[in-house]
């Protein structure tokens, strides 16, 4: 604004007045995103910053693989983050207090690998374990497995071999489980495989019990025959 003073005597005088209205910074934008391990590089939506003077926006906290792109106004997410939760803090400042912060949270879910095999194990009678083949890379196998969400299985209860990842639960371990359906989970660096298998109790058939019974009966018959023969001989001698 320019003010001018005049009274007919030259020169007039002028005075410039400038009013500056400031406003603290403000950030709006996406707050969360979920990806699955093994994802391709991607970006978030645009973060909008307002304030007077125009604020600058910087990333002040977060994983190094998540960066703020000043040109696009987005967060760029590089490949390689393992399953987990990654909070990022953006801060806008323009010299007018207070600065504004905005928290964005990236969640990387585990990758679920296909798995085959397993089946039914009958206690005592089945001498072989149950074999499972996971499509997870053997090099990423964490050496950890659980059954029914319990503690990690001791290494003595299973064998693991490459070929994708081939895992065998040993029969001695399977015999310790209760009859019914159980869930096996195999862990990898970036995910897991999960499947169900069955345990059945040993239930001998009648035919499996009969040999012992027949053997006992046969012995009794033999002894009875011997006794009868002895008695008959004595009777003949007495006549």
Q: Is residue 116 part of a domain?
A: yes
Q: Do 123 and 188 reside in the same domain of the chain? A: yes
Beta pairing partners, 3:
15
Residues 170, 128 within the same domain: yes
Say if residue 137 is in the same domain as residue 102.
no
**What's the pLDDT at 206?**
52
Nearest to 184, CA basis, from 232, 114, 132, 233: 132
Q: Are residues 33 and 103 in the same domain?
A: yes
Instruction: Evaluate whether residue 208 is within a structural domain.
Output: no
pLDDT tens for the 239 residues of the chain, in order? 899 999 999 999 999 998 888 999 999 999 999 999 999 999 999 999 999 999 999 999 999 999 999 999 999 999 999 999 999 999 999 999 999 999 999 999 999 999 999 999 999 999 999 999 999 999 999 999 999 999 999 999 999 999 899 999 999 999 999 999 999 999 999 999 999 999 999 988 755 544 444 445 444 545 445 444 544 444 444 44
pLDDT attached to residue 155: 96
67 domain residue, yes or no? yes
pLDDT score recorded for residue 220: 53
pLDDT at residue 218 in the model: 47
* Number of CB atoms found within 10 A of residue 122's CB: 16
65 and 76 both lie in a single domain: yes
Q: Are 91 and 103 in contact (CB under 8 A)?
A: no
User: At which of 109, 134, 166 does a domain end?
Assistant: 109
Give the whole-angstrom CA distance, residue 36 versus residue 187: 15
- Secondary structure (3-state) at 65: coil
At residue 236, the pLDDT reads 45
What 3-state DSSP class applies to 205?
coil
Q: Which of 66, 86, 109 is the last residue of a domain?
A: 109
- pLDDT, position 207: 53
Structure tokens at 190: 């970036």
Task: Give the domain extent around 84.
Answer: 24-109
CA distance 128 to 122: 10
| Contact call for residues 67 and 60 (beta carbons, < 8 A) | no
pLDDT at res. 183: 99
Distances (CA, A) of 229 to 99, 120, 128, 160: 113, 54, 51, 65
Cis peptide before 53 (omega within 30 of 0): yes
| Model pTM above 0.85 | no
Tell how strand 56-61 and strand 23-28 pair up: unpaired
Q: 91, 109, 127 — which closes off a domain?
A: 109
Q: Is 214 contained in some domain?
A: no
Check whether residue 83 and residue 162 sit in a common domain.
no
Scored b (16 or more CB within 10 A) or e, 97-117 reads: eebbebebebebebbebebee
Instruction: Identify the CATH number of the domain in which residue 186 sits.
Output: 2.60.40.10
232 part of a folded domain: no
**Per the domain annotation, does 135 fall within a domain?**
yes
**What is the number of domains present in the chain?**
2
């Amino acid at each position: 604004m320019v003010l001018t003073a005049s009274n007919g005597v030259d020169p007039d005088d002028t005075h410039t007045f400038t009013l500056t209205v400031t406003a603290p910074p403000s950030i709006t934008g996406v707050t969360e995103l979920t990806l699955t391990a093994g994802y391709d590089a991607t970006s978030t939506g645009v973060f909008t910053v307002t304030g007077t003077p125009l604020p600058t926006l910087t990333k002040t906290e977060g994983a190094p693989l998540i960066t703020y792109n000043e040109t696009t106004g987005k967060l760029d997410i590089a490949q390689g983050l393992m399953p987990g939760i990654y909070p990022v803090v953006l801060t806008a400042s323009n010299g007018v207090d207070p600065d504004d912060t905005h928290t964005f949270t990236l969640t990387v879910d585990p990758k679920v690998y296909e798995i085959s095999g397993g089946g039914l194990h009958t206690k005592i009678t089945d001498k072989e374990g149950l074999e499972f083949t996971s499509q997870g890379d053997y090099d990423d196998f964490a050496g950890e497995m659980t059954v029914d969400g319990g503690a990690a299985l001791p290494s003595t209860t299973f064998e693991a071999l490459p070929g994708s990842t081939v895992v065998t639960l040993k029969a001695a371990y399977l015999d310790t489980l209760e009859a019914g359906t159980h869930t096996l989970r195999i862990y990898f660096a970036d995910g897991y495989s999960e499947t169900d298998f069955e345990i059945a109790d040993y239930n001998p058939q009648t035919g499996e019990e009969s040999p012992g019974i027949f053997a006992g009966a046969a012995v009794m018959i033999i002894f009875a025959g011997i006794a009868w023969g002895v008695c008959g001989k004595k009777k003949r001698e007495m006549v």
